[in-house]
Structure 1
Amino acid sequence: MTTPPLPPGEGALGEAVIPRPDNNFPALRAALARVAPTRLPELIAERATVFTMATRSSSYQPIALYQLKWATVIEIERFPALARRLRAAEHAARSLDRDDAAWRTAMDEIRAITDAARRAVLSPSGLCG
């Protein structure tokens, strides 16, 4: 976990297994079905909660945050090596003692990967740009 959070260049991340989807529910659902199908029930269940929150608050913000969250998840999963790095860091964070310096390293890796993926989703050039 001492590798840089997101090495520059397409070769370091490998090829994306699917193109980045549009930021709407049907496109996100279809993309997730291809890169992480086991997470589809979570996406769908969370959608119902988010739409209820949006209705109650008369705000689209819960929906926008939901779409950003899932677009970020998909952005990571589009690059299998990056997804493996994230899972390894998550496993380390769950299994290490919080006093262990490796726990902080794992948490830093998780944050770096998710922050970079979020920025990529929000940027036209993406992770490989």
Structure 2
Amino acid sequence: MKRLQEECLNCGNKLKGRIDKKYCDPQCKSAHQYKKERERPDRFYNKVDNQLRLNRRILKEYNKAGKAIVRQSILLQEGFDPKFFTHYWKNQKGDVYLFVYEYGFFSKKENGNDKFVLIKWQDYMLK
């Protein structure tokens, strides 16, 4: 019976043992898979997760007191992207706050400037 793979896919050493073997040892297998993964473009869910984590960090940084109003341009310069959020909450006035985990934001215009109202999730919002 002919061997399917003559050489290790990672280091090129001659293979011994099972006929369907592809790597000479577990380290070569791991190294080869790591190289293959690095060559692939970023996966979509990684991009989404990275942006959500960045958004959360920015909202947390600018909302130390539980409620704050910040110019949108400031957050956007930091890398904040309002299209990435985890859930929303609508208050009694009908304002829809978008949340990134426990930090929420609401877009509004004040004195001709685009601003975000930042809040932190509260237990009463569950109702």
- Shorter-chain TM range is under 0.3
Give the TM-score taking structure 2 as reference length: 0.24
Larger Rg: 2
Higher strand share: 2
Higher relative CO (Cα under 8 Å, sequence separation at least 6) belongs to 1
Q: Normalising by the residue count of structure 1, what TM-score does the alignment of the two structures yield?
A: 0.24
